[in-house]
Chain A
């Protein structure tokens, strides 16, 4: 995915790419997250896999398997560039061992895990078949035998002037040990270790190769066995397992994304799907903002929301800087994640399965567009309306801000009406409180702190818009409201 779609950027979901994986990997994983599933059964399939992976026994096993495969790939990639067969084959042998260890470990972990997801029981069965096959055990024993033979090789090198003499090792005193014994009595504490640099080429140099060749002549058998074993057991990585690891990595990346939030006490539950357009969420929060707040050790204020089956038009009001945009982003994210079969940023939720989430956010215009912001905005809305279906959710944020309030009110009504005609649901943030009073509209507003009416609560509930205007609220925020000033003076 080259570019994150604009609606996803408006919901700040673009910021998740780097959290999901490095570079293109993260982008590809985000793309899966942003693609709604078509059928409720597909959502249930993924939710089941997520639930199983949340068990440490299952998630941990697939995590270890994924990093083992990555390691194996890296070893093979490096080995492919090597010139000396004895060096290259030894690396491939390591890769074989690492790979087969990982496969066995995964098979064993899944065999005993209480799996419920269809996706994972299939993996378990596949692994059981694979590890139970005679060819797999043959490969394991061949590799182990080759390795043991190599491990037993021990040689003596005598270096005199320009000559290296290779002979079998014999029992001679270890000089380092002798010196350590002599000086044992003066040791006290742990002085900083002395750095000893051994400069060594990355891969085998010609002298090493020549020495190795003498070693091979001295003890030919282990080297012959190495070559035949490596040749006999290709490819190293079983292709079906590579696909399993990649799929699991997506699920695990999503869970990792949510882990710090859950650790901070923010529940992320699995939503139920509704088929009547109704929506309910308890403990809803903006996933992306919460990640930042939690990382900074700050509090996140979740909200509850409930919208009935026929209530397809929601208007959100409240003081600016009061969390309105985050609230509607959270609503949008809720739908996107639910449609991808993922846990959602809410403790519990029931949501309709959307075919798309679209946005009408104020966006800076290119300078060479003489028609200005309004025209661009309307053009985008035209495309949006053409694609809207009853399964579409539109999130609007201070739409038509570039025009007069009267114009904006009229245009907003038209937009919301048009969406209503197409059966699409809409959530709109606005300072135009009249919109919240229109018939058929659910009004959601920021709650008021009963102790300090000027404080921001960042919590939203269903209630009428209450007329706190922009400038007044801002003044109150800085402690310049009439009551606050008096309270300060009296102190």
Chain B
């Protein structure tokens, strides 16, 4: 029985998903997002860490641009979850309990056939009760649901778990409690009994007939003495061989039902995560909305009041949103003051792209963008080497690994690449990189302090390019607004240094100390 809540064509198998890209999690500060989604639940945390980064993508390597239909499917179920949160959290709780109960029944590591059979019968009985409960919950709340995913699940459960099935299944489990075993066997290797097939125990009349035969044919019975421990062990072995095939079938049936509950638990865990995140952002007054999915063909992004939800979740008080419009631009270059919100905007764009690809609401009043084939990030690192040459090596290796994973249609966020290198070399290397990425079909957002790099890209853009500049605000209380503007010849680090470290206010007005270039 399929669950199919998150993907139109398959169920979520958490272990099959790749581990999230550690750079992505660190640089976009996704831990905060995941924590808000999990709300302290470890299971939800595990699920969202895997599901959010891959979005709706599937296939062999979870690569390729997300399909518009798959995003729509996911968006519908997420909207259902936000509209009927009690139904989803109820399903989640029931699935968690069903899986937990199984663990309690199994306990030890001993797996003898009779033990497996006894326990599988218990587990299967419990699971039948659990899925019946979920079926009833979905039937009760059916009129509040609209997504194909949840309606489909409700229908499948109603059909597959009907009263006839449950009755028959429970009857069979009851029959397995019988202590009399009837089996057939053939002669296997070494003429030892083999090929055991457990037969349905005879009814009362047949039982009587059996007893009469037993009386007549005494010579063909073997009686084991209770005191003979070896013989009793041998009898237990014989019983085990007889029940082993049935034990395997019952255990396998339990495993299927258990796997169903496990998948449902993980899929609803993601939805509960969406509910939690929605609540957390709403509590901070962040506008969220579900963007309309568009294919990746057109580069760029148009957004109103886009914020970095990870920052919003971390700070007290309101967070300023940005309006950005880079439509048609495969390259966006952000320059300007330190502390002016450049990295924040980069993160906001990265997180929004991820959430969009995962069929989740994004933290913006409005957003329109094509679906991207993965988000790749390169943020400053202490490269873990002392010598300059070692640091450069390490960063180049990191960039090389990044480039290896870029595909046409990927979003690449380069935050101050090669800032450890002198301006001339850094500009040259980074310029080649950016041009190569754009030529390869990626969408690149670049934050840089390398003036020569920005000037070169401005003078000879590799394609339609948007230049954004972080404005210098009043003292340390930056407005975090970035507006379209060509790069300036100097940055504002000294200001910020003066403000933060030496305690002075800013001395000059915005841009008056530096001429524009271009």
Binding site for B on A (CB under 8 A): 82, 86-91, 94, 150-151, 153-167, 169, 172-176, 178-180, 182-183, 185-189, 191-201, 203-208, 210-212, 214-215, 217-218, 226
| Listed A/B pairs (25) with beta-carbon separation below 8 Å | A88-B190, A154-B185, A154-B186, A157-B181, A157-B242, A158-B180, A159-B183, A160-B180, A160-B181, A167-B220, A172-B182, A172-B200, A173-B200, A185-B1, A186-B257, A188-B256, A193-B255, A194-B120, A196-B111, A196-B116, A196-B248, A198-B112, A199-B237, A214-B221, A215-B187
Indicate whether A195 sits within 8 Å of B111 (C-beta atoms), given known contacts A159-B238, A207-B222. yes
Complex interface bits, B218-236 against A, C-beta within 8 A gives 1, otherwise 0: 0111111110001110110
| Cα distance, A197 to B240, chains bound together (Å) | 9
Asked if B213 is an interface residue, CB under 8 A from chain A, the answer is yes
A187 to B258, CA, bound (A): 10
Report how far A490 CA is from B225 CA in the complex, Å: 95
B252 to chain A, nearest CB (A): 6
Contact B189 A163 (CB under 8 A): no
Q: Contact: B242 with A159, CB < 8 Å?
A: yes
B-chain residues with CB within 8 Å of residue A150 when the two chains form the complex: 187, 191
* Minimum distance in angstroms from B180 CB to a CB of chain A: 5
Whether the pair B241, A212 counts as a contact (CB closer than 8 A) is no
Q: Please, how many angstroms separate the alpha-carbon atoms of A286 and B222 in the complex?
A: 69
Nearest-CB residue, chain A, relative to B240: A198
Interface residues of B, Cβ cutoff 8 Å to A: 1-2, 11, 13, 110-113, 116, 120, 160-161, 165, 168-169, 172, 175-176, 179-187, 189-193, 197-200, 202, 210, 213-214, 217, 219-226, 230-232, 234-235, 237-242, 244-260
Q: What A residues does B213 contact at CB under 8 A? A: 165, 167
Question: What is the CB-to-nearest-CB distance from B196 to chain A, in angstroms, rounded to a whole number?
Answer: 8
Most buried by B among A172, A199, A203: A172
Give Cα distance in the complex from A178 to B168, angstroms. Answer: 10
Contact A196 B244 (CB under 8 A): yes
Contacts of A166 in B (CB 8 A): 220-222
Distance in angstroms between the alpha carbons of A163 and B211 in the assembled complex: 12
Instruction: Give Cα A211 to B194, complex, Å.
Output: 12
Q: Report whether A175 and B198 are in contact in the complex, using a CB–CB cutoff of 8 Å.
A: yes
- Given known contacts A156-B184, A206-B234, A212-B191, A187 and B256 CB-to-CB distance under 8 angstroms: yes
The number of A-B residue pairs with CB atoms under 8 Å apart is 228
CB B316 to nearest CB in A, in angstroms, measures 46
Closest Cβ neighbor of B181 among chain A residues: A159
How many angstroms from the CA of A153 to the CA of B186 in the assembled complex?
6
Question: Which chain A residues lie closer than 8 Å to B11 at the CB level?
Answer: 188-189
Contact A194 B184, CB 8 Å, known A91-B190, A150-B191, A217-B220: no
Q: Report if A159-B180 is in contact (Cβ < 8 Å); known contacts: A179-B172, A195-B111.
A: yes
Do residues B253 and A207 form an inter-chain contact, with CB atoms below 8 A? no
A206 contacts B231, CB within 8 Å? Answer: yes
Q: Are A90 and B111 in contact (CB under 8 A)?
A: no
Query: Do A163 and B223 touch (CB < 8 A)?
Result: yes
Chain B residues lying within 8 Å of A187, measured Cβ to Cβ, are 1, 253, 256
- Decide: B199 and A154 in contact? CB cutoff 8 A: no
Chain B nearest CB, measured from A386 CB (Å):
61
Beta-carbon contact of A185 and B160 below 8 Å: yes
Give every chain B residue within 8 A of A159 (Cβ-Cβ).
180-183, 235, 238-239, 242
In the complex, A238 Cα to B11 Cα: how many Å? 60
- Which of B240, B241, B260 lies in contact with A186, CB distance below 8 A? B260
Residues on the A chain within 8 Å of B112, using CB: 197-199
Q: Is the CB of A207 within 8 A of B187?
A: no
Q: Secondary structure at chain A's binding surface: helix, strand, loop or mixed?
A: mixed
Closest 3 CB pairs of A and B: A207-B234, A194-B251, A183-B253
Chain A residues with CB under 8 A of B161? 186
Contact of A156 among B111, B182, B231 (CB under 8 A): B182
Q: In the docked arrangement, what's the CA distance between A205 and B190, Å? A: 12
Known: A87-B192, A188-B1. A199 touches B249 (CB 8 A): no
Which residue of A has the minimal Cβ distance to B162?
A: A185
Q: Are B169 and A183 in contact (CB under 8 A)?
A: yes
| Docked pose: A204 CA to B187 CA in angstroms | 12
Q: A163 and B221: CB pair below 8 A?
A: yes
Nearest chain A CB to B116 CB, angstrom units: 5
Chain B residues whose C-beta falls within 8 Å of the C-beta of A176 in the assembled complex: 197-198, 245-246, 248-249
Chain B nearest Cβ from A467, distance in angstroms: 39
Question: Which chain A residues lie closer than 8 Å to B246 at the CB level?
Answer: 175-176, 179
Smallest CB separation, A167 vs chain B (Å): 6
Max chain A C-beta neighbours (<10 A), residue from B13, B189, B199: B199
The answer for the CA separation of A417 and B223 in the assembled complex, in Å, is: 90
User: Chain A residues with Cβ under 8 A from B193's Cβ?
Assistant: 155, 157, 208, 211-212, 215
- Closest partner residue, chain A, to B10 (CB atom): A189
A91-B190, A197-B110, A205-B237 known; 13 new pairs, CB 8 Å cut-off, are A87-B191, A159-B182, A173-B200, A176-B248, A186-B1, A187-B1, A187-B253, A193-B248, A196-B113, A200-B241, A205-B234, A206-B234, A208-B234
Q: Which residues of A contact B219 (CB under 8 A)?
A: 214, 217
CB distance from B364 to the nearest CB of A (A): 38
Whole-angstrom distance from the CB of B173 to the nearest CB of chain A? 9
Q: Which residue in chain A gives the minimum CB-CB distance to B241?
A: A198
In this complex, what residue of A is CB-closest to B172? A179
Question: Are the C-beta atoms of B224 and A207 separated by less than 8 Å?
Answer: yes
Q: How far is the CA of A198 from the CA of B240 in the complex (A)?
A: 6
User: Which B residues lie within 8 Å of A193 (CB)?
Assistant: 248, 252, 255
* Contact of A162 with B226 in the complex, beta carbons under 8 Å: yes
Bound complex: CA A160 to CA B214 (Å): 11
Are B184 and A165 closer than 8 Å at their CB atoms? no
Contacts of A226 in B (CB 8 A): 191
> Given the interface contacts A150-B191, A204-B192, A208-B238, does A191 sit within 8 Å of B244 by beta carbon?
no
Given A179-B253, A191-B259, A199-B240, also A158-B210 (CB < 8 A): yes
State in angstroms the CA–CA spacing of A82 and B189 once bound together. Answer: 13
- Find the residue from A91, A157, A200, A218 having the highest chain B CB count within 10 A: A157
Contacts of A173 in B (CB 8 A): 199-200
- The answer to whether A188 and B259 have CB atoms under 8 Å apart is yes
CA distance A164 to B176 in the complex (A): 19
Instruction: Give the chain B neighbours of A186 by CB distance below 8 A.
Output: 1, 160-161, 253, 256-257, 260
